[in-house]
Structure 1
Amino acid sequence: MATTIRNPLLDIRRIYVEPAAAELPRGREILARFPGAERVEVESHHRIPELYGDEANVARWVRIKTEALVLGVKKSLTARPNGRSAHFIAPSTANGCAMACAYCYVPRRKGYSNPITVFANIEQILGYVERHAGRQGVMAEAGQIDPHAWVYDIGENSDCSLDATVSDNVRDLVELFGRLPNAKASFATKHVNRDLLGWEPRGRTRVRFSLMPAADSKLLDIRTSPIADRIAAIDDFVAAGYEVHVNFSPVVVRDGWLEDWAELFEQLDDALGAEARAQLAAEVIFLTHNDRLHQVNLGWHPKAEEVLWRPELQQAKRSETGGWNVRYRNGHKGRYVAALTGLIEERLPYCRIRYAF
């Protein structure tokens, strides 16, 4: 039976529904969680003109994230090879987000709005993932991703902690990986959802709390859990049976950036208990920005662009979607990476750096 989970980030007033999704058990559960919401039937979850591609929506960016929900069916089920953060990207059970991080890449693909889209065909997705993991067999060689298990990222285009307030899809995935002998789930999050502490991950789900200096988070991590809350949750999630890593991401170069990261590392070191330290590892990811997202942000959060869009520090590369991605210039970036990883090794010597780029 569906339960109603209250979340201050969501006040769902309109649900765009594919008819096929409304007929599935998970679809019916989700609709039951928001009984007062208007239902708008749509042919396809990714073709909704009043949400996607309408430039006027920039002014309503956060309001749309708060009030709209899309309910669809995931048509294409594939596990894409990854090789850096995970071995595979699992078929998504949701995309979009109610949070509004200024650097998020998902809006680049969707246009001018990206509320949560949740997929109702969870049984089909679970079956695919289980069969795919079964075909991998035992992992023969340890690597930086994991020494023993095939790792599947289950939240590439959404935040699973937040998705769990909308449906039971994430819990179903955590329970699935809890019984798979050779595979592990993984997702990054900026939202502390303590309801997850009551689940049974059995050490088979890796939660990666994304962290950055509080000054950057206040400017760029709009509507997310405070950095202090994320750090405070780490020990509790480890005690509940999760593997917990950290993502130092995105790293934004600005005046005083390295000093502020040193302060963050000190806060983290002060907060962690022995069990959390013993299993801690980090991903370090420097900012990649995009010209199209830059234009979107100028319409709703121009202050963020003062630190995200730095042509004097960045170089451009044509993206797969035809726009331009910008990242810190070659040569300069190498020095930035070396400075930050050296600081991690000094301040958090027990934290293994899985990769940095």
Structure 2
Amino acid sequence: MPTAAVAAPPLIDISRIYAEPAALDLPRGREMAARWPDAEIVPVESHWRIPELHGDEANVRRWVRIKREALVLGIKKTLTVRPNGRSADFIAPSTANGCAMACSYCYVPRRKGYSNPITAFTNIDRIAGAIAKHVHKQGAKPEANQCDPVDWVYDLGENSDCSADALLGDNVHDLVDLFATFDTAKASFATKFVNRELLEWDPQGRTRVRFSLMPAAMAKLTDIRTTPIPERIAAIDDFVAAGYEVHVNFSPVIIAPGWQEEWRQLFRQLDAGIGPAAKAQLACEVILLTHNAALHEVNLGWHPKAEEVLWQPQLQEPKRSENGAINVRYRMGEKRRYLDQLLAIMAEELPYCRVRYAF
């Protein structure tokens, strides 16, 4: 008799909600809490300081469980729109930080420490208002750049994955609807999670979804709790048909034996998996791996196998990032060579895919 398949646990199944009282006082906070009526509500003074979640080294052993079962509700106090110039013209004030997924190279846990589940901000009206005010102040974009030839681009998910955030409430939906009303700006977010509820929304071409892709074997090792690569590729045509602009992020590029051929195969899978409409509007970002010594030490406590490819001192050198953190990247001369090799393969396999930026 064949063995019955065991269903995978849900990405999010909240049993404990840590909430700033002011966050629960708002309609969006009450709506989010109501989605998990059996969850224990734990009042906290600040979403930044929760000893059970942040800064407790013992949490390494409960890394994934915390991401599935814990939700933090807070108030977004800083509503500044920041210039970017790489993937987007601007970084919008976030509606969340943290993530339910557990990619082993993710930079977000470096800020709060250890598991870092999703913190959702419930003052969505003020966040949306700050974005709208900034868009109207900018007016029309004067000239094309690598972000977009026509529109100002606002990144919505700098410190979270908006597709996963949308499982918790309507914050992301509200912002997609907001950008659908603009003539001069579009929203943008990267994702590793296929949430087909987004196909029921009406973005009107004003939201760019960037599906992050890497060779499937490497993703299986490092992209923990994410949607498998074939399913991400299979979703692209559906999102284009639903009115989204769809780009891809080839990210991160991790150097390991056979990496060039694995990326060639990925490019071929992508080419075979999308139709003419998706190809006609496709563009990409290419980002080589950046890692961090502190995160390396954390990962050794829960996923040491991934560190065999992520932590390679013989290939890497220190780098001070824009936020002042000391990270490691591939040595500068070699990094340029790796990048040139990858771009050459991509030009052969995906000649229609415009490279917006690569570093």
Query: Partner of 1:113 in structure 2?
Result: 115
Query: Partner of 1:339 in structure 2?
Result: 341
Query: Partner of 2:4 in structure 1?
Result: none
Q: Aligned AA for 1:211? A: L
Task: Select the residue among 281, 290, 293 that pairs with 2:292.
Answer: 290
Aligned residues: 351
Q: Aligned AA for 1:58? A: V
Query: Partner of 2:311 in structure 1?
Result: 309
Shift of the 320–113 alpha-carbon distance from structure 1 to 2, 3 Å rule, reads: farther
Task: Select the residue among 156, 159, 175 that pairs with 2:158.
Answer: 156
- Work out the CA distance in 2 between the residues paired with 1:78 and 1:179: 21
CA RMSD of aligned residues (A): 1.0
Task: Select the residue among 90, 98, 101 that pairs with 2:100.
Answer: 98
Query: Partner of 1:167 in structure 2?
Result: 169
Q: Aligned AA for 2:189? A: F
**8 Å contact 1:89–1:152 — kept in the other structure?**
yes
Deviation at 1:317, TM superposition (A): 2.4
Query: Partner of 1:191 in structure 2?
Result: 193
Deviation at 1:113, TM superposition (A): 2.0
Provide Cα deviations, 1:250-300, integer angstroms capped at 9, x if missing partner: 000000000000000000000111100000000000000000100110000
Q: Aligned AA for 2:338? A: Y
Deviation at 1:112, TM superposition (A): 1.4
Q: TM-score, normalised by structure 1?
A: 0.97
- Work out the CA distance in 2 between the residues paired with 1:80 and 1:332: 32
- Work out the CA distance in 1 between the residues paired with 2:184 and 2:325: 39
Identity percentage over the alignment?
71
Query: Partner of 1:88 in structure 2?
Result: 90
- Work out the CA distance in 2 between the residues paired with 1:164 and 1:230: 17
Shift of the 200–64 alpha-carbon distance from structure 1 to 2, 3 Å rule, reads: same
Deviation at 1:51, TM superposition (A): 0.7
Matches within 5 A, 1:1-357: 8-318=10-320, 324-357=326-359
Q: Secondary structure at the match of 1:264?
A: helix
**8 Å contact 1:214–1:227 — kept in the other structure?**
yes
**8 Å contact 1:292–1:323 — kept in the other structure?**
no
Q: Secondary structure at the match of 1:249?
A: strand
Deviation at 1:334, TM superposition (A): 0.6
- Work out the CA distance in 1 between the residues paired with 2:146 and 2:68: 38
Provide Cα deviations, 1:114-138, integer angstroms capped at 9, x if missing partner: 1000000000100110000000011
Which stretches in structure 1 are left out of the alignment for 5+ residues? Answer: 1-6
**8 Å contact 1:190–1:210 — kept in the other structure?**
yes
Which stretches in structure 2 are left out of the alignment for 5+ residues? Answer: 1-8
- Work out the CA distance in 1 between the residues paired with 2:358 and 2:324: 26
**8 Å contact 1:18–1:44 — kept in the other structure?**
yes
**8 Å contact 1:291–1:323 — kept in the other structure?**
no
- Work out the CA distance in 2 between the residues paired with 1:257 and 1:106: 26
